[in-house]
Structure 1
């Protein structure tokens, strides 16, 4: 076999390996986003898993019409992070993920936590 033939054959094998690896990496990254129940008109809540057996995830509230981000709650497998669009790109840690991830009603637990973060109760006067 000539050198150009060997190169073509090697490049073909490398191309096939890259294509197979890319497919596996795409599937390892979690799921596509899907809608969760969100009772607020004009807004939508989406959820997507990013791994860790569904312990890594991102939930976002967006304006239905403009798709503008209103809030993002995410779990990095252990720590719960929150970002409210009106506060800019700053993200804050709001606790552990376990209360949501360990819930038998995970979609409802997500919704309740986001509602609480978006609409905090005013402090009671003493």
Structure 2
């Protein structure tokens, strides 16, 4: 019979294996034309249908906005404007047409920099 510390050690080891096998990638930058801000993207599974995109202040790394997909539903978070936080419907508009990085950038610009980006005729949130 294993002692309690060995049970804990074994549990931590197995949990680490599970996290490693759960998918996902390291974060990398996407094009973001706004000085002083950085847009990063990381996948978390579902064949790249689960992901998180964040805009952060370049110097302080403070979160400006987060757009994420849990494989089906799109969520938005803006710490400076909690009333704008919530669900945005399906992730499908972001995933289709092979333009995911551009679609993510355009959607975040609609919230953070209205009038500064997005295709002509894009609808505003």
TM-score normalised by L of structure 2: 0.75
Q: Could you tell me how far apart the structure 1 residues matched to 2:77 and 2:2 are?
A: 50
**Bigger mean CA offset, 27-36 vs 61-70:** 27-36
Are 2:73 and 1:69 equivalent residues in the alignment?
no
TM-score normalised by L of structure 1: 0.75
SS of equivalent residue, structure 1 residue 107: helix
Are 2:55 and 1:38 equivalent residues in the alignment?
no
Are 2:121 and 1:119 equivalent residues in the alignment?
no
| 1:103 and 1:109 in contact (8 A); partners too | no
SS of equivalent residue, structure 1 residue 102: helix
Match of 2:92 among 91, 98, 101: 98
SS of equivalent residue, structure 2 residue 98: coil
Question: Deviation per CA, 1:1-27, whole angstroms, max 9, x where unpaired?
Answer: xxxxx869xx6xxx6796466234224
**Alignment-derived partner of residue 79 in structure 1:** 73
- Higher CA-based Rg: 1
- Hey, which bits of structure 1, 4+ residues long, moved more than 6 A? 15-18
Shift of 1:81: 0.6
Once superposed, what is the RMSD of the aligned Cα atoms?
2.4
